[in-house]
Amino acid sequence: MSWETVIGLEVHAQLSTNTKLFSSASTQFGSEPNTQVDLVDLGLPGVLPVVNKDAFKKAIRFGLAIKADINQESTFDRKNYFYPDLPKGYQITQMTKPIVEGGLIDIDVDGDKKTINITRAHLEEDAGKSIHDAYPDKSVIDLNRAGTPLLEIVSEPEISSAKEAVAYMKALHQLVIFLDVCDGDMSQGSLRCDANVSIRKVGDSELGTRTEIKNINSFKFIEKAINFEIKRQIKVLESGEKVTQETRLYDSGKDETRPMRSKEFANDYRYFPDPDLLPVVISNDEMEEIRSTFPELPADKSKRYISEFQIDKSEAEIISSSRELSNFFEVAVESTNDPKLAANLLVGEIGSLLNKDNIKIDESKLSSNNFNILLQRISDGTISKKIAKTILAEIWETGRNADEIINDQGLVQIQDETLLEEVIIKVIESNSKQVEDYKNGKDKLFGFFVGQVMKETQGKANPQAVNDLLKKALNS
């Protein structure tokens, strides 16, 4: 029998605000336990929530990016349940009127494009952390995370494989980072997802019974957890049994999902409007302000780079996917007349340096100004592209001015034809065997001669001049 999978994802993105959704405590990750807890976060008697303006800005920015409807009036509700890391005994969330409704995310699975519709994205507060392994018979509670703003992004059940789920998650990951709404650090739990998985016979119109896999926090685990769950459900159904609707946890050690033992999932959450909070209204002026600072999205940027600067599609896509890299590129093209070269270096040489150090370009020692000097020196023939790599390596370490490096290390390109001719003669004389082979039709050896000339000149020879002169000399 053939089965098809239906998956809906609920992704929780921690918004990168300075403070919590309802209190002025810091949201910084990794602080000492219980040091970022305000009176409000501890849920002391008599304390009251006040909403964070920037959490709304970020949520709206996300909404605009996915072409969703923004509810300029949204409200908060209470979701009631008991858990030790939920200090008030309820979570404040947006049940009835979320800030963002609708929208879509484009995904790409091995070249196949698909659009996933978004149901809604709402603001809510994160819970604290329960730690179960600090004592043998006790659990301990750290409330630093309690109250951190979350944007819960709910997809329609339109994802049909683990691979698509990963692609969807990757697209969201890239987008929230680009928009500066979330730092995207999955290992710290900044972005995590719950997957609702069900299967049905191909052709069935009704959805099968679903299970919810909670809190998956890596791309790899999303794929593994969902695949495990699909197989498990098929097995259950093929043996004639029924899938139980339940909440499951993914155990990465055993690579399996298992039902949660706590009764939390069986709760009746008794949602009702939070009487401590009035409706939050985003004025037209506020909307305008958010729109006016809305960044150009990667896809649009990429298209523009290709048409405006004639750079390669693959380079355009890489540069536009990173806010920092595209900013850097856009500063560079203001003063260089060779955008293609700029793109080429950014993706190639600089890209690998960034990867090696795992940093963003604005965290490196390469300034825009210095990059432009470097581009200028390549364009005007002072240095070759090859030498540029050497210079970049030096700048990477020291941040020194490119011109200074060129002068100090005598890296100026050799353009002088007489000088180059001397070197070429020397190379031809000492490689008579290869010259003979070349003349007998082994064209590929041309590169060998270029290499030898470069070696002799420590790479400083102008490649175009070397090409021309070598051809002349070899063909004479």
Partner 1 sequence: MDNKTIETISYLARLQLGDDKKEKITKDLENIINFVDELQNIDTDDIAPLANPLEKIAPKREDSVTSKSRKEAFLLNSPESDQNYFIVPKVVE
Partner 2 sequence: MNIRFKTLSELKKLLETKEISSCELVSETFKNIASSKTNSFITLDEERSLIKARAFDEGKIKGDLAGIPIAQKDLFCTKNLRTTCGSRILENFIPPYDATVVENLNAAGSICVGKTNMDEFAMGSSNETSYYGTVKNPWDFERVPGGSSGGSAAAVSEGLICAATGTDTGGSIRQPAALCGITGIKPTYGRASRWGMIAFASSLDQAGTFARNAEDCALLLNHICSHDTKDSTSISDEQENYLENIDDDLKGKKIGIVKEFDISNLNKEVQDSFEESKKIFEALGVNFVEVSLPNIKLSVPTYYVVAPAECSSNLSRFDGVKYGYRAKNINNLEELYIKSRSEGFGDEVKRRILIGTYVLSAGFYDAYYKKAQQSRRMIKNDFMEAFKDVDIIMSPSSPSSAFKIGSKTEDPIEMYLEDLFTISANLAGVPAMSIPHGFAYGLPIGLQLMGNYLEESKILNFAHQYQKNSDWHIKSPNLEEIS
52 interacts with, out of partner 1, partner 2, none, CB within 5 to 8 A per kind: partner 1
Q: Taking the complex as a whole, how short is the minimal distance between the CB of residue 275 and partner 2, in angstroms? A: 4
In DSSP terms, 192 is beta-bridged to 12
Query: For residues 189 and 110, what is the distance between their CA atoms, to the nearest angstrom?
Result: 27
Binding of partner 2 by 276 (CB under 8 A) = yes
In the complex, the smallest distance separating the C-beta of residue 261 from partner 1, rounded to whole angstroms, is: 5
Closest CA to 56 of 26, 37, 38, 76: 76
Residue 456 in contact with partner 1, rule: CB under 8 A: no
Q: Which is nearer to partner 2, 45 or 253 (CB)?
A: 45
Closest CB 115 distance from partner 2, rounded Å = 34
Number of residues that bind partner 2 (CB under 8 A): 29
Give the one residue of 48, 134, 359, 419 binding partner 1; rule: CB under 8 A: 134
Work out the angle at residue 218's Cα, subtended by the Cα atoms of residues 212 and 221, and round it to the nearest 5 degrees. 60
Select the span of 48-56, 309-317, 423-431, 434-442 touching partner 1 (CB under 8 A).
48-56
- Give the Cβ contact number of residue 293 at 10 Å: 9
Closest by CA position to 123, among listed 6, 15, 220, 260: 15
Which residues are within 8 A (CB) of 321 and not within 5 positions of it... i.e. 6 or more apart? 174, 178, 298, 302
Residues 24-43 that bind partner 2 (CB under 8 A): 39, 42-43
Q: Could you give the count of Cα atoms lying within 13 Å of 206 in the half-sphere of its Cβ?
A: 2
Among 9, 107, 143, 373, binds partner 1 (CB under 8 A): 143
Contacts of partner 1 in 19-38 (CB under 8 A): 19, 23-26, 32-38
* Residue 244 main-chain phi, psi, to 5 deg: -90, 135
Going by DSSP bridges, is the β-strand pair 90-93/3-14 parallel, antiparallel, or unpaired?
Answer: unpaired
**H or E, element range at 414:** none
Distances (CA, A) of 369 to 280, 377, 382: 44, 13, 17
Task: Please identify, among the stretches 209-217, 227-235, 273-281, 401-409, the one whose residues bind partner 2 according to the rule CB under 8 A.
Answer: 273-281
Whole-angstrom distance, CA of residue 262 vs CA of residue 269? 15
Q: For partner 2, give the closer residue by CB, 34 or 457.
A: 34
Contacting positions for partner 1 (CB under 8 A): 17-19, 23-26, 32-39, 42, 50-56, 73, 75, 80, 82, 84, 130-132, 134-135, 137-143, 249, 260-262, 267-268, 270, 273, 275, 277-281
The residues of the shown chain that bind partner 2, judged by CB under 8 A, are 39, 42-51, 78, 80, 82, 84, 87-90, 139, 141, 268, 270-272, 275-278
